[in-house]
Protein backbone atom coordinates (compact mmCIF):
# COMPACT_ATOMS: atom_id res chain seq x y z
CA UNK A 1 0.00 0.00 0.00
CA UNK A 2 1.33 3.44 -0.83
CA UNK A 3 2.01 5.88 1.96
CA UNK A 4 -0.83 8.05 3.28
CA UNK A 5 0.00 11.74 3.53
CA UNK A 6 -1.40 13.81 6.37
CA UNK A 7 -0.99 17.57 6.32
CA UNK A 8 -0.62 19.14 9.76
CA UNK A 9 -1.62 22.70 10.62
CA UNK A 10 -0.42 24.28 13.86
CA UNK A 11 -2.42 27.20 15.24
CA UNK A 12 0.50 28.81 17.09
CA UNK A 13 3.48 30.57 15.55
CA UNK A 14 5.60 30.72 18.67
CA UNK A 15 8.89 28.83 18.67
CA UNK A 16 8.34 27.07 22.01
CA UNK A 17 4.71 26.28 21.19
CA UNK A 18 3.28 23.29 23.02
CA UNK A 19 1.07 22.67 20.01
CA UNK A 20 4.11 22.65 17.74
CA UNK A 21 5.61 20.07 20.12
CA UNK A 22 2.44 18.00 19.79
CA UNK A 23 2.90 18.22 16.02
CA UNK A 24 6.52 17.02 16.40
CA UNK A 25 5.25 14.11 18.46
CA UNK A 26 2.59 13.25 15.89
CA UNK A 27 5.23 13.28 13.14
CA UNK A 28 7.73 11.12 15.02
CA UNK A 29 5.14 8.61 16.24
CA UNK A 30 3.28 8.23 12.95
CA UNK A 31 1.89 4.76 12.30
CA UNK A 32 3.60 2.59 9.68
CA UNK A 33 2.74 3.74 6.17
CA UNK A 34 1.66 7.22 7.26
CA UNK A 35 3.69 10.40 6.66
CA UNK A 36 2.72 13.55 8.52
CA UNK A 37 4.04 16.88 7.25
CA UNK A 38 3.64 20.18 9.04
CA UNK A 39 2.64 23.01 6.70
CA UNK A 40 4.87 25.58 8.30
CA UNK A 41 3.86 28.71 6.41
CA UNK A 42 0.59 29.84 8.01
CA UNK A 43 2.36 33.00 9.24
CA UNK A 44 3.15 33.98 5.64
CA UNK A 45 -0.48 34.03 4.49
CA UNK A 46 -1.91 37.50 3.96
CA UNK A 47 -5.24 38.25 5.58
CA UNK A 48 -8.01 36.72 3.53
CA UNK A 49 -9.24 39.14 0.88
CA UNK A 50 -11.57 38.15 -1.95
CA UNK A 51 -9.96 40.79 -4.17
CA UNK A 52 -6.70 38.80 -4.32
CA UNK A 53 -8.31 35.35 -4.32
CA UNK A 54 -7.89 34.27 -7.94
CA UNK A 55 -5.39 32.25 -10.04
CA UNK A 56 -2.81 34.92 -9.20
CA UNK A 57 -3.38 34.54 -5.45
CA UNK A 58 -0.23 35.16 -3.39
CA UNK A 59 2.35 32.35 -3.52
CA UNK A 60 1.88 31.21 0.11
CA UNK A 61 -1.83 30.77 -0.59
CA UNK A 62 -1.13 28.70 -3.68
CA UNK A 63 1.40 26.65 -1.71
CA UNK A 64 -1.18 26.08 1.05
CA UNK A 65 -3.81 24.88 -1.40
CA UNK A 66 -1.34 22.70 -3.30
CA UNK A 67 -0.12 21.03 -0.10
CA UNK A 68 -3.69 20.50 1.11
CA UNK A 69 -4.67 19.14 -2.29
CA UNK A 70 -1.82 16.61 -2.22
CA UNK A 71 -2.77 15.33 1.25
CA UNK A 72 -5.07 12.40 2.04
CA UNK A 73 -6.14 13.83 5.40
CA UNK A 74 -5.53 16.81 7.68
CA UNK A 75 -4.63 17.09 11.34
CA UNK A 76 -5.15 20.46 13.01
CA UNK A 77 -3.29 21.10 16.27
CA UNK A 78 -4.17 24.35 17.95
CA UNK A 79 -4.30 26.30 21.19
CA UNK A 80 -7.25 28.45 22.19
CA UNK A 81 -7.04 32.24 22.08
CA UNK A 82 -9.65 34.18 24.00
CA UNK A 83 -12.09 31.31 23.96
CA UNK A 84 -11.81 30.74 20.23
CA UNK A 85 -9.69 29.88 17.18
CA UNK A 86 -6.32 31.71 16.96
CA UNK A 87 -6.41 34.27 14.13
CA UNK A 88 -3.55 32.67 12.21
CA UNK A 89 -5.49 29.42 11.96
CA UNK A 90 -8.83 31.07 11.19
CA UNK A 91 -7.17 32.94 8.35
CA UNK A 92 -5.86 29.67 6.91
CA UNK A 93 -9.33 28.16 7.26
CA UNK A 94 -10.78 31.04 5.25
CA UNK A 95 -8.22 30.58 2.45
CA UNK A 96 -8.84 26.81 2.45
CA UNK A 97 -12.61 27.32 2.24
CA UNK A 98 -12.30 28.79 -1.27
CA UNK A 99 -12.96 28.28 -4.16
CA UNK A 100 -16.39 27.68 -2.68
CA UNK A 101 -17.42 24.05 -3.19
CA UNK A 102 -13.93 23.14 -4.42
CA UNK A 103 -11.81 23.30 -1.28
CA UNK A 104 -8.46 21.50 -1.54
CA UNK A 105 -9.61 19.57 1.55
CA UNK A 106 -13.02 18.60 0.13
CA UNK A 107 -14.12 15.13 1.28
CA UNK A 108 -10.86 14.54 3.16
CA UNK A 109 -10.96 13.42 6.78
CA UNK A 110 -9.88 16.09 9.23
CA UNK A 111 -9.24 15.90 12.97
CA UNK A 112 -8.72 18.68 15.49
CA UNK A 113 -6.64 18.32 18.65
CA UNK A 114 -4.46 20.59 20.74
CA UNK A 115 -3.37 22.00 24.05
CA UNK A 116 -4.10 25.20 25.95
CA UNK A 117 -3.41 26.54 29.39
CA UNK A 118 -7.00 26.46 30.57
CA UNK A 119 -8.33 23.48 32.42
CA UNK A 120 -10.41 22.37 29.41
CA UNK A 121 -7.33 22.30 27.19
CA UNK A 122 -8.77 24.59 24.52
CA UNK A 123 -12.02 22.69 23.98
CA UNK A 124 -13.90 25.81 22.86
CA UNK A 125 -11.34 26.49 20.14
CA UNK A 126 -11.33 22.85 19.10
CA UNK A 127 -15.13 22.74 18.87
CA UNK A 128 -15.18 25.94 16.81
CA UNK A 129 -12.38 24.71 14.56
CA UNK A 130 -14.37 21.54 13.86
CA UNK A 131 -17.47 23.64 13.17
CA UNK A 132 -15.65 25.97 10.79
CA UNK A 133 -13.91 23.26 8.74
CA UNK A 134 -17.17 21.31 8.69
CA UNK A 135 -18.90 24.08 6.77
CA UNK A 136 -17.01 23.82 3.48
CA UNK A 137 -16.07 20.27 2.59
CA UNK A 138 -13.61 18.38 4.81
CA UNK A 139 -15.07 15.32 6.54
CA UNK A 140 -14.53 16.47 10.10
CA UNK A 141 -14.27 13.62 12.58
CA UNK A 142 -16.53 15.06 15.24
CA UNK A 143 -16.20 12.20 17.69
CA UNK A 144 -12.41 12.54 17.84
CA UNK A 145 -11.52 14.93 20.66
CA UNK A 146 -8.20 15.54 22.36
CA UNK A 147 -7.92 18.80 24.30
CA UNK A 148 -4.85 18.67 26.53
CA UNK A 149 -4.59 21.02 29.54
CA UNK A 150 -1.01 22.26 29.11
CA UNK A 151 -0.40 22.15 32.87
CA UNK A 152 -0.69 18.36 32.70
CA UNK A 153 2.58 18.33 30.74
CA UNK A 154 4.55 19.84 33.65
CA UNK A 155 6.60 21.98 31.28
CA UNK A 156 8.00 18.93 29.51
CA UNK A 157 7.79 17.96 25.86
CA UNK A 158 4.57 15.98 25.29
CA UNK A 159 6.62 13.00 24.08
CA UNK A 160 7.60 12.53 27.74
CA UNK A 161 3.96 12.03 28.70
CA UNK A 162 2.87 8.46 27.95
CA UNK A 163 -0.85 9.21 28.18
CA UNK A 164 -0.71 12.14 25.74
CA UNK A 165 1.58 10.18 23.40
CA UNK A 166 -0.86 7.26 23.31
CA UNK A 167 -3.89 9.52 22.85
CA UNK A 168 -2.28 11.45 20.01
CA UNK A 169 -1.21 8.26 18.29
CA UNK A 170 -4.77 6.89 18.62
CA UNK A 171 -6.10 10.14 17.15
CA UNK A 172 -3.84 9.84 14.10
CA UNK A 173 -4.78 6.17 13.67
CA UNK A 174 -8.48 7.07 13.77
CA UNK A 175 -7.92 9.91 11.31
CA UNK A 176 -6.18 7.75 8.72
CA UNK A 177 -8.70 4.93 9.22
CA UNK A 178 -11.21 7.40 7.74
CA UNK A 179 -9.25 7.92 4.51
CA UNK A 180 -10.97 6.65 1.37
C1 LIG B 1 -3.71 35.93 23.01
C2 LIG B 1 -3.85 34.72 23.90
C3 LIG B 1 -5.11 34.29 24.29
C4 LIG B 1 -5.26 33.14 25.08
N5 LIG B 1 -6.50 32.69 25.38
C6 LIG B 1 -6.65 31.49 26.00
C7 LIG B 1 -7.94 30.90 26.17
O8 LIG B 1 -8.96 31.45 25.82
N9 LIG B 1 -8.01 29.68 26.76
C10 LIG B 1 -6.89 29.01 27.17
O11 LIG B 1 -7.01 27.89 27.66
N12 LIG B 1 -5.66 29.55 27.03
C13 LIG B 1 -5.52 30.77 26.44
N14 LIG B 1 -4.27 31.30 26.25
C15 LIG B 1 -3.10 30.60 26.77
C16 LIG B 1 -2.64 29.55 25.77
O17 LIG B 1 -3.44 28.40 25.91
C18 LIG B 1 -1.18 29.20 26.03
O19 LIG B 1 -0.37 30.35 25.87
C20 LIG B 1 -0.72 28.10 25.11
O21 LIG B 1 0.50 27.58 25.55
C22 LIG B 1 -0.54 28.61 23.70
O23 LIG B 1 -0.25 27.54 22.85
P24 LIG B 1 1.23 27.31 22.29
O25 LIG B 1 2.08 26.85 23.48
O26 LIG B 1 1.07 26.23 21.28
O27 LIG B 1 1.72 28.62 21.73
C28 LIG B 1 -4.11 32.46 25.50
C29 LIG B 1 -2.83 32.92 25.11
C30 LIG B 1 -2.70 34.01 24.33
C31 LIG B 1 -1.32 34.47 23.90
Task: Please state the rounded mean pLDDT for residues 28-53.
Answer: 98
Residue of minimum CA distance from atom 1 in ligand 1:
81
Contact 121, 149 (CB under 8 A): yes
pTM above 0.85, yes or no: yes
Label residue 1 by pLDDT band (50, 70, 90): low
Residue of minimum CA distance from atom 4 in ligand 1:
81
E-state strands within 11-162: 34-38, 73-77, 109-116, 139-140, 146-149
In a mutational test of the pocket of ligand 1, which residue from 8, 10, 81, 115 has the highest number of ligand atoms less than 8 Å from its CB? Answer: 81
Taking only the tens place, the pLDDT of each residue in 46-99 is 999 999 999 999 999 999 999 999 999 999 999 999 999 999 999 999 999 999
Length of the chain: 180
Interatomic CA distance for residues 164 and 132, integer angstroms: 25
Does ligand 1 come within 6 angstroms of the Cβ of 69? no
Interatomic CA distance for residues 150 and 105, integer angstroms: 29
Q: Ligand 1: distance of its center to the CA of 33 in Å?
A: 33
| Atom of ligand 1 at shortest range from CA of 120 | 11
Superfamily of domain 4-177 in CATH is: Flavodoxin domain (3.40.50.360)
Interatomic CA distance for residues 106 and 110, integer angstroms: 10
Residue of minimum CA distance from atom 15 in ligand 1:
117
The structural domains of the chain, with segments of one domain joined by +, span: 4-177
Does ligand 1 come within 6 angstroms of the Cβ of 128? no
Does ligand 1 come within 6 angstroms of the Cβ of 52? no
In this structure, what is the dihedral angle of CA atoms 76, 79, 31, 179, given to the nearest 10 degrees? Answer: -20
| Atom of ligand 1 at shortest range from CA of 149 | 11
pLDDT of residue 162: 98
Label residue 115 by pLDDT band (50, 70, 90): very high
Does ligand 1 come within 6 angstroms of the Cβ of 79? yes
Amino acid sequence: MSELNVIVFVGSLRKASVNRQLAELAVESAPEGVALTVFDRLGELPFYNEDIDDEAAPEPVRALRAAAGAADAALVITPEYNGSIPGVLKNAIDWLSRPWGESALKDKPLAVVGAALGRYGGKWAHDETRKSFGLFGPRVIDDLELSVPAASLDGRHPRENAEVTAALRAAVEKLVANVG
